[in-house]
Amino acid sequence: MRLPKAGTIEIAPSILSADFARLADEIAQVASAGVNIVHLDVMDGHFVPNITIGPPVVAKLRKHSNLVFDSHLMISNPAKYAEAFIEAGANHITFHIEVADEPEKLIDKLHKLDVTAGICLNPETPVEAVEKIAPLCDMVLVMTVHPGFGAQKFMPQAAKKITRIREIVGPNIRIEVDGGIDPKTAPIVVSYGADTLVAGNAIFTKPDRIAAINAIRQACS
Ligand code: DX5
Ligand code: ZN
């Protein structure tokens, strides 16, 4: 399982809004809609004011799914825990620039461990903070809400950073957007140059997940 090469629009359902008691079934449902990626939100109660899942949950889910596990580490010490997530079955690791002491070193380590690497920036973090690091990554993640919770309102100003990031990274690196993505906001971020769309609330609060995914797809086409 490998992050698809840039050049396609990918929808990455975020299980944060799924039923945590039935995660394997929830992931199987979105897989049947033809998605390639599932977005796993990892929160530590320190970098963000919420706590979610750790490596043991990822390892159990790995047995039930062939999707790319896109692990979004919203944790204070990503270098300390990244390897445990890879051992558990994560295929892609994104960490936050706001808490990365030696981002180049961590990206290098992730590549040596044979996973793809992503850097994430919060809504208030300027593009300059990732200017040097972004070209070394496989995907840049732009937060369009403050990390920590699903179902928040899309922040249009934060999304505008995508245009500049696309100029910096060129066409071969993915740009993922996370927070408030739905059929209305998805076409906006795609027009700025994003190609990987995380959506939690817009998929998992709908009774028909497949129709919800198709609605986002259609809105972008
Ligand atoms: C927020 C998480 C998101 C979240 C997005 O901290 O990183 O992945 O699940 O949720 P929605 O799509 O509901 O805004
Ligand atoms: Zn996320």
The model's pLDDT over 45-71, given as tens digits with 9 standing for 90+, comes to 999 999 999 999 999 999 999 999 999
176 ligand 1 Cβ < 6 A: no
Pick the ligand that lies closest to the CA of residue 201.
Answer: 1
Pick the ligand that lies closest to the CA of residue 16.
Answer: 1
Q: What is the mean pLDDT of residues 84-113?
A: 98
Q: How far apart are CA 196 and CA 191, in angstroms?
A: 12
- Taking the centre of ligand 1 as the mean of its atom positions, its distance from the CA of residue 17, in whole angstroms, is 8
For position 168, what pLDDT does the model report?
98
Output the residue whose Cα is nearest ligand 1's atom 4. 150
For position 124, what pLDDT does the model report?
98
Q: What is the mean pLDDT of residues 87-92?
A: 98
| Residues designated catalytic | 41, 178
Q: What is the 3-state secondary structure (H, E, C) of 106-174?
A: HHHHHHHCCCEEEEEECCCCCHHHHCCCHHHCCEEEEECCCCCCCCCCCCHHHHCHHHHHHHHHCCCCE
The model's pLDDT over 106-143, given as tens digits with 9 standing for 90+, comes to 999 999 999 999 999 999 999 999 999 999 999 999 99
123 ligand 1 Cβ < 6 A: no
For position 118, what pLDDT does the model report?
98
Is residue 202 within 8 Å of residue 182, measured between CB atoms? yes
**Which atom of ligand 1 lies nearest, measured to the CA of 39?**
8
Q: What is the mean pLDDT of residues 14-22?
A: 97
User: pTM of the full predicted structure?
Assistant: 0.98
Q: Are strands 116-121 and 196-199 parallel, antiparallel or unpaired?
A: unpaired
Q: How far apart are CA 165 and CA 127, in angstroms?
A: 7
Instruction: Please report which confidence band the pLDDT of residue 98 belongs to, taking 50, 70 and 90 as the band edges.
Output: very high
Instruction: Please report which confidence band the pLDDT of residue 28 belongs to, taking 50, 70 and 90 as the band edges.
Output: very high
